[in-house]
């Protein structure tokens, strides 16, 4: 029998980087090219089977508004999250520079052990690319985050982004469970 897990995760990143598009591609399939900015937060659920880990993961995806003025709303949505996707738009350099601020905001709310995956989104727009794969990978490596290049338009690596994060969270959950049973034995 596979082990069952439930995790709350947060989609993080500037406005219009594709947080909602990735979430919709992953949970429902399809793609909407009109931009409708998220107000406050949206919420979606999806189950994922990780055969290699003999685990079933139910993800509660909190899709946060990236616009700075929603910052006060966001604080409450971090609570209880076990991981996050740090999304930027490869055609807008500013959104890449800002993932560091998103990381800081997330660490402040959840601690620096929270598993994060860096998601370089919109790689279908090759001609207007402004941030190289190398730069993205370098940032991820520096912080020991995983790195994925995705496109919500084509669907490339979208499931991989969520699956990689899920693997990381399952490992963290196992470590927590081990520590707890050791605490019990010790106590
Ligand atoms: N070409 C291309 N366009 C994308 C991709 N992902 C998202 N978009 C488009 O980019 C725009 C913004 O996408 P959203 O998913 O709404 O962005 P968001 O990060 O949720 O933005 P906020 O809700 O304002 O924080 C929309 O017009 C999408 O259609 C992608 O991979 N490729
Ligand atoms: Mg959105």
What does the domain layout of the chain look like in residue ranges? 3-186
Q: Which of 12, 15, 21, 151 to probe ligand 1 with, by most ligand atoms within 8 A of CB?
A: 21
Token pair of 120 as six digits: 């370089």
Please state whether beta strands 3-12 and 81-89 pair in parallel, antiparallel, or not at all (unpaired). Answer: parallel
Mean pLDDT for the stretch of residues 136-165: 98
Is residue 92 within 8 Å of residue 128, measured between CB atoms? no
What are the residues whose beta carbon lies below 5 Å from ligand 2 (ion)? Answer: 19-20, 38
The verdict on domain 3-186 having CATH code 3.40.50.620 is no
Q: Work out which ligand 1 atom sits closest to the CA atom of 63.
A: 20
Sequence-ordered list of residues with C-beta below 8 angstroms from that of 107, at least 6 positions apart, any chain: 114
How many whole angstroms separate alpha carbon 170 and alpha carbon 82? Answer: 10
**Half-sphere exposure of residue 26: CA atoms within 13 angstroms, side-chain side:** 28
- 157 or 69, greater pLDDT: 157
Structure tokens at 146: 């995983």
Q: What separation in Å is there between the alpha carbon of 19 and the centre of ligand 1?
A: 7
pTM here is 0.94
Give the number of the ligand closest to the Cα of residue 102. Answer: 1
Q: How confident is the model at residue 187 (pLDDT cuts 50, 70, 90)?
A: low
| Mean pLDDT rounded to a whole number for the chain | 93
Mean pLDDT of all residues in 19-29 = 97
Question: Can you give the pLDDT at residue 77?
Answer: 79
Stretch among 39-43, 60-64, 98-102 having the lowest mean pLDDT: 39-43
Any residues with Cβ below 6 Å from ligand 1, and which?
Answer: 13, 15-21, 32-35, 37-38, 65-67, 121-122, 124-125, 151-153
What pLDDT score was predicted for residue 5? 97
Which uninterrupted H or E stretch holds 23? helix 19-27
Cα–Cα distance, 101 to 1 (Å, whole number): 41
């Amino acid at each position: 029998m596979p082990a069952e897990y439930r995790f709350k995760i947060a989609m993080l990143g500037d406005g219009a980087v594709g947080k909602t598009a990735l979430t919709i591609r992953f949970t429902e399939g399809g793609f909407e090219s009109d931009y409708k900015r998220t107000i406050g937060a949206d919420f979606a659920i999806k189950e994922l089977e990780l055969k290699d880990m003999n685990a079933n993961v139910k993800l509660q995806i909190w899709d946060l508004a990236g616009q700075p003025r929603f910052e006060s709303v966001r604080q409450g949505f971090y609570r209880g999250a076990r991981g996050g996707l740090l999304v930027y738009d490869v055609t807008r350099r500013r959104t890449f520079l800002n993932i560091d601020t998103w990381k800081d905001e997330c660490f402040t709310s959840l601690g620096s052990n929270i598993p994060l995956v860096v998601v370089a989104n919109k790689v279908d727009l090759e001609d207007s690319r402004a941030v190289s794969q190398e730069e993205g990978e370098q940032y991820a490596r520096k912080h020991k985050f995983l790195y994925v290049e995705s496109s919500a338009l084509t669907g490339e690596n979208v499931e991989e982004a969520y699956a990689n994060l899920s693997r990381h969270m399952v490992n963290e959950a196992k470590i927590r469970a081990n520590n707890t049973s050791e605490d019990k034995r010790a106590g």
